[in-house]
Each structure stands twice: as structure tokens, then as C-alpha cells.
């Protein structure tokens, strides 16, 4: 996937005639596409695919920046950091992670720009989520295209396997084993885990089949995970005063806010109010609750000292 999102932008830019030709084609589609402060809507069915939608405004800027908050609560990302071999590898892992995100996201942006140039006015793309797939099939030899399309499947698999494993583990250990059957055997837990994977995968398949728009589903799930778990993770790392009840009510407040917010009709991305309300709930409930025991305080201080001295 990494190679695909590095090679594809370079070769697709060459296909349209270079950077100058690329920007000329985008400017021809709509000059506002090159204005960071202007909003542009895509409507292939309306006959004018790239239509100016006025300035983005503060709400749009805040909503776009708020995507960064979601990283703190994503199970499939946190699981990878938890799997780091030692504290010595954290700095290297952090560098690799940041470089990976920057290169891949810029590669994706360039692919989108090339898509505007190639599938511009007169040759519109019905579903913008297919731009990468369509460009690959249009530009590359079928053998090369097959390898690059496999990268798309790799991206899907690398995320979905982590999500399925984390979800299955949570349902099996955190719910079934903890609340329903504490004396369950290992074999029984394995079968519960397998059943959980099957159920979760079936629900995901239904949502994908019914909704169809990947970005909207990812946006909603990103906000849900980020607002529910993100503040709890951050406070648990930097605030020893947080209590169990504060963490639980914070997660509940963040998750419910994300679910309810779309019904308010407000355009602000739901992760923003969810993250803020979750943080507020954690602080208020923890301060009203009994202070964590001395053993917890000592564990926190020991972990903090270990990180600082590493």
C-alpha cells in the first residue's frame, strides 16, 4: 500500500503532463479547487461536477482539524503501539508512524488532484471513492494495475483484521468472561471469540451493503472511537487523579454525543463536541469521586519516571 501511494501519484502526474498541466486542468475544472479557504461540492448527476460552495468558514476548518483527535482512540492503532517491544523502540516507531502518515496522505491528495484533471468536465466520475481504482486501470498495464489493486486490498485487510481482533477480544474478555461466565474454559472463550468475529463481520457487511459510502462510515466510526476512548486514553497517561467512574462516564458521554449530535442539524464534526464533553465528564466525575489509592498513584509515578528516563 505504501509503495502504491508513492508510485501512483508520481506516474499519474506524469500521465497528465506534469505539475503545470495538472494545476491548469484543476483550474479549468474550478479555480476554487486551488483555494484552501473555498469550499467546492461535487455533483456528477447535476451536470456541473465541481460547483463552488462559498468559503469554508471556522466550522469547516475546525471540523477538518478535528480528524486528528480521532487517532488517540483508534483500537487498531493503539494495539500496534502496545505491541512495541521496548521503550527504546518508541521514538523510532513514532518517527516511522509520522513519516508514513505524511507520505501516504499527500500521495492520496495527489491522486485526488489527478482524478480531477483526468475525470474533469465532460468525463465525470460517478463515484469519487473509485478514483484510485479507475486511475490505475486507465493508466497502468493490466499486470501492474493488478499489483496496485492488490495494495487496496492490503489496506482494507490491514485495518479490518485489527478491528475484528480488538472487537472480538473486547466482547470475549471484557464482557463475556468478566460479566457472564468467569469460570469459562479457554476452549469456550476461543469459540466465543470466533462467533464474535462472525457477528461483527456480518454487521459490517450489512452496513457496507446498505450505506455504500465508505468515507461517511469511516468518518462516523472515527468520531465514535475518537470521542469515546481518546480522552480516556490521554487522561490515563497524563492525569493520575482520573478514577474508574470518571473514565466510564467519560466514555459514555463521548459515545452518546457522537450518536446524538447528527440529529441536532449542526454542521460541526461530531468528534469535537464528543471529545470536549467526554473530557469534561472525566474531570468533573473524577474530582467528585474518591481519589485513587496510593498503589495507583505509585504505579503512575513509576511509569512516568520510567518513560522520562528512557
* Cell numbers that stand for 242 in this block: 482520573
* Cell numbers that stand for 171 in this block: 466482547
pLDDT score for 189: 85
**Would you call 39 helix, strand, or coil by DSSP?**
strand
State pTM to two decimals. Answer: 0.77
The per-residue b/e assignment along 114-132, b for 16 or more CB within 10 angstroms, e otherwise, is bbbbbbbeeebbeebeebb
Question: Rounded to an integer, what is the distance from CA 89 to the centroid of its chain?
Answer: 24
pLDDT score for 286: 92
Smallest CA-to-CA distance from 6 within 127, 148, 144 is with 148
Q: For residue 144, which phi and psi values (nearest 5 degrees)?
A: -65, -40
pLDDT score for 280: 95
Q: What count of other Cβ atoms lies within 10 Å of the Cβ of residue 102?
A: 10
Query: With a cut of 70, which residues of the chain have pLDDT below it?
Result: 44-48, 121-124, 211-212, 310
**Would you call 154 helix, strand, or coil by DSSP?**
helix
Smallest CA-to-CA distance from 201 within 209, 189, 211, 213 is with 209
pLDDT score for 278: 95
The angle subtended at Cα 217 by Cα 212 and Cα 219, nearest 5°, is 140
**What crossing angle do the helices spanning 90-118 and 131-139 adopt, rounded to 10°?**
70
CA distance 139 to 201: 34
H/E stretch holding 124 = none
Amino acid at each position: 500500500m505504501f509503495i502504491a501511494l508513492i508510485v501512483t501519484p508520481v506516474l499519474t502526474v506524469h500521465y497528465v503532463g506534469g505539475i503545470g498541466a495538472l494545476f491548469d486542468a484543476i483550474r479549468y475544472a474550478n479555480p476554487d479547487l486551488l483555494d484552501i479557504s473555498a469550499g467546492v461540492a461535487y455533483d456528477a448527476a447535476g451536470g456541473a461536477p465541481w460547483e463552488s460552495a462559498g468559503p469554508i468558514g471556522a466550522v469547516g476548518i475546525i471540523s477538518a482539524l478535528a480528524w486528528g483527535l480521532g487517532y488517540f482512540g483508534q483500537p487498531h492503532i493503539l494495539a500496534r503501539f502496545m505491541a512495541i517491544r521496548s521503550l527504546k523502540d518508541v521514538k523510532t516507531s513514532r518517527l516511522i508512524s509520522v513519516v508514513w502518515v505524511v507520505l501516504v496522505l499527500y500521495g492520496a491528495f495527489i491522486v485526488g488532484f489527478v482524478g480531477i484533471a483526468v475525470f474533469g468536465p465532460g468525463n465525470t466520475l460517478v463515484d469519487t471513492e473509485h478514483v484510485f481504482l479507475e486511475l490505475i486501470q486507465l493508466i497502468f498495464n493490466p499486470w501492474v494495475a493488478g499489483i496496485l489493486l492488490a495494495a487496496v486490498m492490503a489496506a482494507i485487510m490491514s485495518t479490518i483484521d485489527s478491528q475484528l481482533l480488538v472487537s472480538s477480544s473486547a466482547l470475549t474478555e471484557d464482557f463475556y468472561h468478566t460479566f457472564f461466565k468467569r469460570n469459562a474454559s479457554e476452549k469456550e472463550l476461543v469459540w466465543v471469540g470466533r462467533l464474535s468475529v462472525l457477528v461483527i463481520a456480518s454487521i459490517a457487511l450489512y452496513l457496507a451493503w446498505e450505506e455504500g459510502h465508505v468515507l461517511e462510515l469511516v468518518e462516523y466510526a472515527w468520531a465514535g472511537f475518537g470521542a469515546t476512548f481518546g480522552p480516556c486514553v490521554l487522561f490515563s497517561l497524563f492525569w493520575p487523579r482520573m478514577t474508574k467512574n470518571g473514565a466510564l462516564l467519560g466514555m459514555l458521554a463521548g459515545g452518546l454525543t457522537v450518536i446524538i449530535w447528527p440529529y441536532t442539524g449542526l454542521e460541526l464534526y461530531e468528534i469535537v463536541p464528543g471529545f470536549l464533553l467526554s473530557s469534561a465528564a472525566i474531570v468533573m466525575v473524577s474530582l467528585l469521586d474518591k481519589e485513587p489509592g496510593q498503589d495507583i498513584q505509585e504505579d503512575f509515578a513509576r511509569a512516568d519516571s520510567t518513560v522520562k528516563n528512557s
